[in-house]
Structure 1
Amino acid sequence: MDVGTIVGILLGFSGIFMSMILEGSKPTAILLPAPMMLVILGTLGAAMAGGLLKDTTGSVKWIKTALLAKPIRPDGLVDELVKLADRARREGLLALEDAANEVDDDFLRKGLQLAIDGTDPEELREILDAEIVAKRTEYKQGAKLFLDMGGYSPTLGIIGTVVSLIHVLANLSSPESLGKLIASAFVATLWGVMLANIVWLPLSNKIGRLGELAVQQMELVIEGVLSIQAGVNPRLIRQKLQSLLPADPKAEKAKQEKAA
């Protein structure tokens, strides 16, 4: 599990609360139910109004994905593809049928099955490329939902402040309570901006990044499966796939090979 998003959100809130404490204020001063409810429910309502119902109801799935997603290890995928290529070269492509059923990656399993069934390479690429387009669209929609919420949230906070200021103006006859009422009025703006920049926009960026990594892995699978189908030497397949890896996995893989 990649805990970067969870740690980042907690760090953001911690910075805000710690700064309040250092300034002599109390974090509980901003934990007011009314402005928090207005901003959160208002943001969800605006997001729901701006898209399809299934997009908003699927937000829980995307939050879980962003917070609990497992780190993708493309170098591990390269090793798996090279092993499959070595077996196919020694025993033939049909020998991979049993191995394909044991593969955890659904996309890789489908690609291997298409290759084993004798699908034309161009047609195989078209089928798998279509799945990549669908995957990219899926993640793009998930990221857009939270991007929209990041735009709505500060505006809803301002609306909450205006609503509270109306209440302040209605109580001008009680000057002793004006300070507290005015301070409370700006809590909604704080929550709107805070949630946008610590929760909604970071979640959008995380989902977008996960989508990029998922697509990169799928593209790696396509090149590997097509190379296996063409009977390319496993060593050449490794070199080809490693050339497609980002810089960090390449460096890590080189260190491992050097140590071995």
Structure 2
Amino acid sequence: MDKISIIAIIGGLTAILAGQALEGGHLSSLLQATAFMIVIGGTASAVMLQSTPKQFLTGLRMISWVFHPPLHDQERLIRDIVSWSQAARRGGLLSLEGYVTTQKDLFIRKGLQMLADGAEPQIIRDVLETEIGIFEHARKQAVKIWESAGGYSPTMGILGAVLGLIHVMENLSDPSKLGGGIAVAFVATVYGVGIANLFFLPVANKLKNLIRVEVNMKELTVEGLISIANGENPRIIEARLRSFLGLND
């Protein structure tokens, strides 16, 4: 569980609601179903229109990363790579065949299998780097739904405000209906701007950072496997991988 995400969301909402209370406002004045429907419904529709079904669904599933980010143990990966290099020096690359089936990560499994099959280092690098590029592109396209939502929701808030003002203008002769229209107008703007800056855009940026970590781990794996293929000393491999991640600092 990423506690800082929970704290950030609760802290942001608390700050806004506390500020509203300090100004003498009431929570009920911020609860407008019409404004919420306009902003969230309109934003969701716009994002769906620009995305493919796969990108949209993948982006929705990735929201879980904000609260439960993928676990990456860099130290363990380095230890594993050093262990593989030691095994390869003792029994040759074919001895790595036994490690393939024990790997849960399909990327690592694929690289080890190519290494055990005696593929040329450059071929291994080309294949794995192509796979990294495809992975990174697909994930970034999925994250764009949150980035785009952060751009559309303020506009939908303005649209809600305009609709609210139209309702006000239509009922100038009936003062009892003016309050509701004005409330929708202002609250829709609050929803649009608030949700964009407190949730959509921060989520997009956090997911981008998590994707970068994923890519770094894959790049680390590639460097390790290529070093093994080139027959480098396990201690040299470990030192290089630690420098690659800045773990020697």
TM-score, scaled relative to structure 1: 0.89
Name the residue aligned to 1:254. none
Question: Match of 2:183, SS?
Answer: helix
Does 2:18 align with 1:18?
yes
Question: Match of 1:58, SS?
Answer: helix
Moved more, 47-56 or 137-146: 47-56
Contact 2:66 2:207 in 1 (8 A): yes
Displacement of 1:202 in angstroms is 1.0
Describe how 1:98-247 pairs up with structure 2 within 5 A. Answer: 98-175=98-175, 178-179=178-179, 181-246=181-246
Task: Name the CA distance, whole Å, in 1 between partners of 2:57 and 2:210.
Answer: 20
Task: Name the CA distance, whole Å, in 2 between partners of 1:107 and 1:210.
Answer: 17
Moved more, 146-155 or 21-30: 21-30
Question: Match of 2:172, SS?
Answer: coil
- Cα displacement string for residues 3-34 of structure 1 (whole angstroms, at most 9, x for unaligned residues): 33333222222211121122222223212111
The residue type paired with residue 117 of structure 1 is: D
Q: How many percent of aligned residue pairs carry the same amino acid?
A: 39
Superposed CA RMSD in Å reads 1.8
Query: Per the alignment, do residues 40 and 219 of structure 1 end up closer, same or farther by CA in structure 2, a change over 3 Å counting?
Result: same
Consecutive unaligned residues in structure 2, runs of 5 or more: none
Name the residue aligned to 2:39. 39
- Which 4+ runs in 1 deviate beyond 4 A? none
Moved more, 232-241 or 12-21: 12-21
Displacement of 1:101 in angstroms is 1.3
- Cα displacement string for residues 185-212 of structure 1 (whole angstroms, at most 9, x for unaligned residues): 2100100011111111111111111111
Moved more, 88-97 or 139-148: 88-97
Name the residue aligned to 2:58. 58
Displacement of 1:61 in angstroms is 1.0
Question: Match of 2:245, SS?
Answer: coil
Question: Match of 1:244, SS?
Answer: helix
Contact 1:2 1:70 in 2 (8 A): no
Question: Match of 2:194, SS?
Answer: helix
Task: Name the CA distance, whole Å, in 1 between partners of 2:75 and 2:242.
Answer: 8
Contact 2:171 2:178 in 1 (8 A): yes
Moved more, 206-215 or 82-91: 82-91
Question: Match of 1:173, SS?
Answer: coil
Consecutive unaligned residues in structure 1, runs of 5 or more: 252-260
Query: Per the alignment, do residues 176 and 38 of structure 1 end up closer, same or farther by CA in structure 2, a change over 3 Å counting?
Result: closer
Question: Match of 1:104, SS?
Answer: coil
Number of equivalenced pairs: 249
TM-score, scaled relative to structure 2: 0.92
